[in-house]
Structure 1
Amino acid sequence: MSYKTLLVHIDDSRRSDTRVAVALDLAQRWDAHLIGLYAVSGDFDRPFFRTHEDIAALLAAQAEVRRQRARDTFLVAGERAGRAVEWRAPAGPPVGITTLHARHADLLVLGQPDPLDAAAYVDEHFVGDVVLGAGRPALVIPRAGAVPTLGENVLIAWDGSREASRAIADALPLLQRARFVGIDVVKSTDDENTGPGAIDVAAWLAAHGIRASFSTTARHGIAGAGATLLNRVSDLHADLLVLGAYGHSRVRERVWGGVTRTMLESMTVPVLMGH
């Protein structure tokens, strides 16, 4: 198995170049076609600005300069990497256009929300809405830190759910190239029924040529499963976490499961999310 079409989200944030570098490396691994999708906040088009044409024109001109700079940076990065890449910057609401284009890709490369970088803001629930709406696996890159390796030492979070099963299947191309794969079940101290599932997952992965170990980790006290997983990632020096994404929509908000929310807020390594 392999990923043949990758899509990386590009914006004006300071981490956009890191996402592109990761995506180019993955494209090199699988000789994949890489699409750079530029999608940024459209706040300058709010009704307030439309009533002040001079302000709207100035903001639109500045946005065009940033778009052109992002395009040139992406194309130069592709050329330096020796990869033929495709640039897209469609007009429209960023969540909608990203979700639409993502449905024609094998893997998405997105960035963790960064409240300290105004240029990283695209939409209030951008990453979550795309992950849940696209139906495609998403590799979410942390908002800080280098990504020197990706997929050499992989930790799988397993809870027996449909989402977790989907995430593992989506991660197979990465798992088949990993040096070490671990399956971890986070359980409360009074839960005795989660271990056997990890054995079955390890057997299924073995049928795909992937040798995986399995373990259970007790969740003590008030620590949530997400925090416990982050500790396991640190203890095992994992460079990728594979995780099922949980959530559902309400009329005006996205409601996340606790583990998914924790990862989107506090991830320390890239996380491959499947839904």
Structure 2
Amino acid sequence: MARFDILVHIRRYEGDSLAAGVAFALARRLDAYVSGLYVASLGTVAYSTLETVVFQVQEADEIYHSALAQGESWTQRIGAAGVKGEWLVAQGEPVEAICHAARWHDLVVAERPQLNADAPVGWGLVSRTVFGAGVPVVVVPETTKTADAGERVVIAWNHSREAARAIHGALPLLRQAKEVLVLDGVEQTSLVGARHLPALDLAACFARHGVKAQFRPFEATGNYGAGILEAAHAATADLIVMGAWGHSRIAELVLGGATRHLFQHSDVPLFVAH
């Protein structure tokens, strides 16, 4: 009986998939059921002329049925990886399809192109999935060197709602991790205007949940994202847990931010929540 459900977005069903490799590694740690999702996109139909839309829909239908036929191949792949799961295919706008399927999963795994990004950081497929999925997302950079994830974890803790959501979603992984390092950053200023708010004692929370972690004060001298990535490299981490888009996407695009930097430059998978 599976204790966790993972949805992995498969961009190309031919050949190997970094996202699938990471999903399989996480599934083995979590005793999880892995659903592979391929989306036959209809994204350009809305901008097509009447003369071409019929051909585009026909082509999309052919891709959809071709993808459906990959179910047996997926069964073989998950069997070889030592996990259980199923093959899902959708047709339509990819983010809508992923967020729809995420409703009955605990975690989404998605590969993010970095060399040929599909859109500016904050507006691409993976960024929009983080906003819309309603569950944490593991962002797999295409520069990731290994599919192993969850053995050595670095947590970027700035006491924000987003970081707390990411940590809460990662608890099953953190219990299984060999090493957990918490970069204990400066608490964000509350915008609520309330006084004497109770503080979250993360160390005590981890003790209650059976997570063994080391805490290290963290205050980057410049770019916070670069500082987090440097600390992750120093700890040989294979996963970074963090909140995503603590500021608006516009603010991060204009002013920069940790999420934007790590989405652009990290070679370590990111376990994020918004």
Asked if structure 1 preserves the Cα contact closer than 8 Å seen for 2:64 and 2:89, the reply is no
Q: Once superposed, what is the RMSD of the aligned Cα atoms?
A: 3.3
Structure 2 counterpart of 1:212, one-letter code: A
Matching residue of 1:163: 162
What is the CA distance between 1:85 and its match in structure 2? Answer: 2.0
Corresponding position of 1:213 = 214
- How far 1:187 moved relative to its partner? 5.2
Change (3 A) 1:263 1:64: same
> Which residue of 1 is the match for residue 181 of structure 2?
182
| Gap regions ≥5 residues in structure 1 | 189-196
Segments of structure 2 that go 5 or more residues without pairing to the other structure are 188-198
Q: Tell me which moved more, 11-20 or 162-171.
A: 11-20
Give the CA deviation at 1:125: 2.1
Partner amino acid, structure 1, of 2:101:
H
The amino acid that maps onto 1:151 is G
Contact kept, 8 Å, 2:141 with 2:269, in 1: the verdict is yes
Instruction: Tell me the distance in 2 between the aligned counterparts of 1:44 and 1:74.
Output: 28
Q: Please name the residue that 1:12 is paired with.
A: 12
Following superposition, the deviation at residue 22 of structure 1 comes to 2.0
AA aligned to 1:209 is G
Output the CA distance in 1 between the equivalents of 2:218 and 2:53: 58
Q: Distance in 2 between matches of 1:79 and 1:37?
A: 17
TM-score normalised by length of structure 2: 0.80
Contact 2:112 2:141 in 1 (8 A): yes
Partner of 1:149: 148
CA deviations 1:77-133 (Å, max 9, x no partner) are 023234432111122221112111112111111112334377x99x95211111111
Residues in 2 aligned to 1:31 and 1:261: alpha-carbon distance in whole angstroms: 32
Code of the aligned partner of 2:173 = L
Kept after mapping to 2: 8 A contact 1:108/1:138 = yes
2:78 counterpart of 1:78: yes
TM-score of the two chains, using structure 1 as the length reference? 0.80
The letter of the residue matching 1:266 is H
Cα distance, 1:134 vs structure 2: 1.7
In structure 2, how many angstroms separate the alpha carbons of the residues matched to 1:11 and 1:89?
11
Name the counterpart of 1:56: 56
